A and B are shown apart, each in its own frame.
Chain A
Amino acid sequence: MTKDTKVIELEQVAIRFSGDSGDGMQLTGTLFSDATALVGNDISTFPDYPSEIRAPQGTVGGVSGFQVHFGNKKIYTPGDKAHVLVAMNPAAVKANAKFLEPSATIIYDIDSFNDKNLKKAKYSTDDPFAELNLHDYHKIGVPITSLTKEALIDSHMDNKAVMRSKNMFALGLVSWIFNRPLDVIEKALKAKFGKKQQVIDSNITVLHAGFNYGMNMQHTTPQFLVPAADIEKGTYRNISGNIATAWGLIAAAEKANIELFLGSYPITPATDILQALAERKDLGVKSFQAEDEIAGVCTAIGASYAGDLGVTSTSGPGLALKSEAINLAIMAELPLVVVDVQRGGPSTGLPTKTEQSDLMQALWGRNGESPMVVIAASSPSDCFDFAFEAARISLERMTPVMLLTDGFLGNGSEPWKIPSMADLPTINPRVAKDPSKFKAYRRTDETLAREWAFPGMEGFEHRIGGLEKDESGTVSQDPANHQEMCEIRAEKVARVVDMIPDIETYGCPEGDVLIVGWGGTYGHLVSAARELCDEGKKVGLAHFNYINPLPANSAEVFSRYKKIIVCELNLGQFAAYLRDKLPHFEYHQLNKVQGLPFSVEEIKESVTKLMEE
């Protein structure tokens, strides 16, 4: 590093890469994140993209973004606001102006700031920064387009192909600013583009051009240094929530010594799970891309009936289609894991945006008395743990389990300390052993789980189905039997409580306000709780992963605080559920349905306001 370089040391930085949805911003962000994790920073990422694959070029609606937040301490969220915005066109500035820290740095492609693009982004003047009131921001105009062309002048590639490397120039520049090693990025590019040597060469050339440009122009670009985080020792990798979910399911099947079958249908933002499992033929995973959502869950139920761990993955609208079949699995008392990667609803809603509004659907969205275990993951990496947990509960208790994640967790990624299979809990499926004692719905006294006997097991031939039946499996219309069976199915789910840990609080163990959350909001809630506690406020956080049943100590935890505020990305579904289950408390609410995660700031504001009331 030369002497006159400005080096600014920061604890944490959030960078947002932003451009047209065809500009390769997701790849740029991912490559930067991987390089950042390798430097030893903790990271959290958040892709934010439109639902159209190629929305109209240059428009605000077509802007695709990828935010990465990294630092020298534990990073729980992708950051409310970005310190650095990389904007490939005027629309990207407009779309992101409200997501920038005061006096953030904006690195933009000056070549793209022409009349045509200003018009497409619907600016009314020719000074977009003034128009957006970004006067005090540190703006660095870089001729990214022309320098990319210049870098590839000898490549004999056509203009369109050349333009596809623009993102690498931006990545090279940002890598210089944040002192990221290029060799990691080069390795990733080679892996991604395989035999397309020309694409690899041109991308690497432009990447270096961007990096060198940063170095040469250092008098205009401050260089940031984010020291490595103090992280627990071990082997790490980056993982997204969807991949972690897929792998958690494979891990559970291996641990239970049975085969994994996924029946699924492509749906945003859950498709990655199907893709990740389709890839795992090496581990014997059977993936079945069904003709529709219903067939997705039905094939999974069929597989469970035949002795596999049946799983289906989907998002809200798909879950609606699966209701009837999930109920069959509840009635037949078969193992089944249903993964719902929640997105903005209702109807098609906001397919690529995150939300937590499927909770009521997961709990109650079926006909009849239809109890179901519902659990939720709270970070990209713990999707692994809760997918595993969903399978464990399902196989040991002979009941379908719903795993709720969301678009934010599914697409977001973070470094993950890789567990060892030996350290994961055992899973003992309830496979029947003695034909002479077998009855289809005979149960153990403690758990009320029935035994699992599947086709091929000699001497266990029996019939099950969606009709009400008695203990022997015989169809029964008897009124008293129906009531008894309904109560048994409910009690069976309630007794899952003995498999789940007590809820632990973060921050003050008792005090003025308890923040209550569930699922994917954990990072933002824990960050807010941490900052509030640092400010001396008596605040705790109880974050729920187990929703039905609730942990046994929930009421006791609630009773330790003067006020409770339930924060969730919907209009109050968990709050309503808590009012039903634990009615002795008053629940305040913080609700957001904008297709976006919470910001730490707005959580702090609500809690502070509640304390003052």
Chain B
Amino acid sequence: MREFTYTAKDFKSANEVRWCPGCGDHAIMNAIQRVMANLGLNKADYAVISGIGCSSRFPYYMNTFGFHTIHGRGAAIASGVKSANPKLHVWQITGDGDAMAIGGNHFIHTIRRNIDMNLVLFNNKIYGLTKGQYSPTTDFGSKTKTSPYGTIEEPFVPGQLVLGAKGAYYARAIDGNMKMSQEIFDNAARHKGTSVVEVLQNCVIFSGGIHDEITKGEDREDKQIYLKHGEKMIFGTNKDKGLVLENGKLKSVTIGQDGFTLDDILVHDAKEESLYMHAALINMQMPEMPVAFGVIRAVEATPYDVAMEEQIAEVQKTRKIKCVDDLLRSGNTWEV
């Protein structure tokens, strides 16, 4: 196999990056470029596909093949790219409006088919490019330009949608925590199938600080848990908190208190096929529980594009029709 040596810079295009200063997108792109450099795969085999929205400008800034498409359809176009050529490394960049609203149908069906791509969902709970309307992930009651009296609709929790669509892979990351996001993107890139990575992304202009309650502050480690497969579910500034199962429900406890010891703390199993624990982890909310980050679910399943190639190969093993001339002369024909 050929080896490729790159630095993150090799993945930056000559185009000027036009996201607002302080936008979370910068950090996400830097993390992805570093991961791509480390993976050592042929740069020409990357196809970065996006829909419409601030995050969807992403492909223009990448020195790879890139296709900035139309609103909501990035997942469908990426599905075509990967099915046409399964050797490619397909990254689909999307936002909460693009993927959860106008592209909701393609989002769930891409996941259901398990097409091998890395689907990065920038979730800032707002429409940024159109300047501040509520999105399907905006918190109930939020006041935005199109909800001056507060929204009256429940938001989606993206991870729940992924599970509902039979998703095999779901991870959650934070834009500003590059160490964590690089680890997650690296893991997602190596996973075969649709790897959905939801990144809590900060829009400095229209929903500035929307995730601060979780991601900022000296006590942030007490409000987040970074899950790793095979490791105990421990978190906290002092690494003294953990998750246990009590009466069928997850519970956050302090090790050494109320009779809970290290042995009681659950071990994270991202490869468990059952949805039960993954759903519970995805659903954890402050203040009772920490918010879960990391690779929450990573189950092995055959990707669609692989199955498509295999099915064609299988049929061709015993095929009677080998070319179009054969096809045209198959079945009932007669001579005049």
Binding site for B on A (CB under 8 A): 34, 37-38, 40, 184, 188, 231-238, 247, 250-251, 254, 259, 261, 263, 280-284, 286, 288, 290-292, 294-295, 298-308, 310, 324-325, 328, 332, 417-421, 454-467, 474-475
Contacts and interface: CB of A to CB of B under 8 A. Distances in A.
A58 B325 CA distance: 45
A235 B335 contact: yes
Contacts of B327: 247, 250, 280, 283
B63 A236 contact: no
B180 to A, nearest CB: 28
Contacts of A261: 80, 83-84
Nearest to A284: B312
Question: Looking at chain B's contact residues, is the secondary structure mostly helix, strand, loop, or mixed?
Answer: mixed
A310 B311 CA distance: 20
Contacts of A457: 44
A305 B44 contact: no
Given A282-B319, A298-B77, A306-B80, A237 B332 contact: yes
Contacts of B323: 254, 283, 421
18 contacts: A38-B334, A40-B336, A238-B332, A247-B327, A259-B84, A282-B321, A288-B83, A298-B76, A303-B80, A303-B81, A305-B80, A306-B84, A419-B328, A454-B65, A457-B44, A461-B44, A463-B67, A466-B70
A292 B49 CA distance: 20
Contact of B67 (A295, A300, A325, A464): A464
A160 B15 CA distance: 71
Interface in B152-183: none
B77 A251 contact: no
A460 B43 CA distance: 10
Contacts of B79: 288, 295, 298-299, 302
Contacts of A235: 329, 333-336
Contacts of B333: 235-237, 418
B67 A254 contact: no
Interface in B70-117: 70, 73, 76-85, 87-88, 105-106, 109
B226 interface: no
Contacts of B328: 237, 247, 418-419
B249 interface: no
A421 to B, nearest CB: 5
A177 B282 CA distance: 72
Contacts of B335: 234-236
Residue among A283, A298, A302, A303 with the highest chain B CB neighbour number at 10 A: A302
Given A251-B324, A460-B44, 8 more contacts: A261-B83, A280-B321, A281-B311, A283-B327, A290-B109, A303-B80, A306-B82, A454-B85
A417 B76 CA distance: 39
Contacts of A237: 328-329, 331-334
B64 A461 contact: yes
Contacts of B80: 261, 263, 288, 298-306, 310
Contacts of A184: 332
A456 B81 contact: no
Given A324-B70, A463-B59, A466-B68, A282 B334 contact: no
A250 B109 CA distance: 27
B93 to A, nearest CB: 12
Question: Looking at chain A's contact residues, is the secondary structure mostly helix, strand, loop, or mixed?
Answer: mixed
Contacts of A462: 65-66
Given A235-B334, A418-B328, A463-B68, A305 B316 contact: no
Contacts of A324: 70
B47 interface: yes
Given A295-B73, A462-B65, A236 B109 contact: no
B300 interface: no
A303 B311 contact: no
Contacts of B77: 298-299, 301-302, 305
Interface in B281-336: 308, 311-312, 315-316, 319-325, 327-329, 331-336
A81 B59 CA distance: 60
The 10 A-B pairs at the shortest CB distance, nearest first, are namely A302-B80, A465-B68, A299-B80, A298-B76, A282-B319, A303-B84, A463-B66, A281-B315, A302-B77, A306-B84
B67 A456 contact: no
A273 B327 CA distance: 15
A299 B46 contact: no
Contacts of A263: 80
A463 B336 CA distance: 54
A294 B78 CA distance: 13
